[in-house]
Structure 1
Amino acid sequence: MIPARYAASRFPAKLMQDLSGKPVIQRTYEAAVRTNLFDDVFVVTDSEAIFKVITDIGGKALMSIKEHECGSDRIAEAVEHMDVDIIVNVQGDEPFTDRKSLESVLEVFKDDPELEIDLASLMVKITDEEEINNPNTVKVIVDNRNFALYFSRSVIPHPRAVSDKTVYYKHKGIYAFRKNALMDFQRLPMLSLEATEKIEAIRYLEYGKKIKMVKTTASGIEIDTPEDLKKAKAAWK
């Protein structure tokens, strides 16, 4: 499932911007399909323009019925009556989505006999100081089994005593959910931490869900700003 909201506070209509001859959302959709990992790939959107872009190329798209604050809510509405086990959320602004990263997220569910994992996501090590301090970069800290402890736009861990062991991880916006965890998310109200940080993954933690984080080296380029789009165009060439 690729949630695709037309409006965006930092970069309005970013998913319809041209990326080397095709809209960003089309590039992302085609990348997800190309992995050959899924029974089906859908774009779930509130935009007739995005819906048309995908259906015009023979792709699958669904129009949201309700207004949604985040991608998880949009996907939950779309899959509520589908007979599915694991749902993967690929962000619409991730045209460099690759098979290896998605495979690693799905793999954790194959070794979970106690059904301990509610959802899985990706994290990539970051060392650039500007990126570490950038509030648009969501950071994550984990326990010794790589279960998420917290996500923040602030610098976590706080560098009071930096050493060679201090590592920073950026959260990449790819999730794999058990369906029941996703449906719970839709029913549960937003609490204070999520409302403060504006990070939907926090809602799962606030209600006791377990998020398994998987390390990846595929950082890709998330298109959040016009500057990101310039970098994406250069990388695509």
Structure 2
Amino acid sequence: MSFIVVIPARFGSTRFPGKPLALIQGKPMIQHVYERSVAAGAQEVIVATDDKRIGDVVESFSGKVCYTGIQHESGTERIAEVLIKHGLSDNTIVVNVQGDEPFIPPQNIAQVAKNLMVASTQANMQMATLCFPISTKSELDNPNVVKVNFAKNGKALYFSRAPIPYDRRWMQNTQQMHESAYFRHVGIYAYKAAFIHQYIQLAPSHYEKIESLEQLRVLYHGFDIHVAIAQQAPPHGVDTPEDLDRLNQHLA
């Protein structure tokens, strides 16, 4: 199986400006993500950015950079520009690895690529992603932890920053949390290049704008996303400076 990894990375994050360059054990976050993508067996790994500061750091550790425009509103839109500039074929399997997942297990990257290959052939699903069970109420209540519901065949039903499904009895403290009902979305996507080009032609949906979740555009327009439980427990990504402080303290 052949796939490439593209890592969208921007400097101007609202919650954490300069996040891709934040140091973890003396190494920039973007380098951790890059090295794990290489370890997953990707044929090629490309960092897509509109910021020379990020590009310079990636090139300093011999990584590959593709400079993109500043107008993109999502990682997938940024990846589409990379595909055009590199002339990649429509059948290329592309894995979108978020630049704030410094310790994502390489096997999860390979897993989502393989799942896309199978799901697109057997069930005509256009995207694949991963999830992992939620076991604490604090995690469930955290809007930075995206939740996902999916059907028996792995088809995504909905993604939300809110707790879904709503367990009325548990929320009213009359019973224990149904752990098997809650899954956090692991922010990694696989799709073929042809669908990425199709995605950027789709109008953003109101659900996407409300939740600030680009994958909801796919569901709104009637396309299917395959969801599977990650083979290895993925650590949480870094959303805020506080997350980075906790991570560095834990590693120390």
CA contact (8 A) 1:104 1:214 kept: no
> 2: CA distance between counterparts of 1:73 and 1:34?
25
Superposition pairs of residues 1-237 of structure 1, within 5 angstroms? 1-35=6-40, 37-80=41-84, 81-83=87-89, 85-112=92-119, 113-114=121-122, 116-162=124-170, 164=178, 166-216=180-230, 217-237=232-252
- Which secondary structure does the structure 2 equivalent of 1:123 belong to? strand
Q: What residue identity is the alignment partner of 1:99?
A: P
- Which secondary structure does the structure 2 equivalent of 1:12 belong to? coil
- Which secondary structure does the structure 1 equivalent of 2:44 belong to? coil
Instruction: State the TM-score, normalized to the length of structure 1.
Output: 0.93
> 1: CA distance between counterparts of 2:187 and 2:169?
29
How has the CA–CA distance of structure 1 residues 50 and 7 changed in structure 2, closer, same or farther, with 3 Å as cutoff?
Answer: same
- Which secondary structure does the structure 2 equivalent of 1:177 belong to? strand
CA contact (8 A) 1:6 1:13 kept: yes
Q: What residue identity is the alignment partner of 1:49?
A: R
Q: What residue identity is the alignment partner of 1:43?
A: V
CA contact (8 A) 1:221 1:232 kept: no
CA contact (8 A) 2:7 2:47 kept: yes
> 2: CA distance between counterparts of 1:150 and 1:182?
20
Q: Any stretches of 5+ residues in structure 2 without a counterpart?
A: 1-5, 171-176
Matched residue count: 236
Displacement of 1:165 after TM fit? 6.7
Q: What residue identity is the alignment partner of 1:230?
A: D
Identity of aligned residues (%): 35
Q: What residue identity is the alignment partner of 1:224?
A: D
> 1: CA distance between counterparts of 2:57 and 2:179?
47
- Which secondary structure does the structure 1 equivalent of 2:166 belong to? coil
- Which secondary structure does the structure 2 equivalent of 1:41 belong to? strand
Instruction: State the TM-score, normalized to the length of structure 2.
Output: 0.88
Displacement of 1:232 after TM fit? 2.4
- Which secondary structure does the structure 2 equivalent of 1:116 belong to? coil
**Partner residue in 1 for 2:174:** none
Q: What residue identity is the alignment partner of 1:133?
A: D
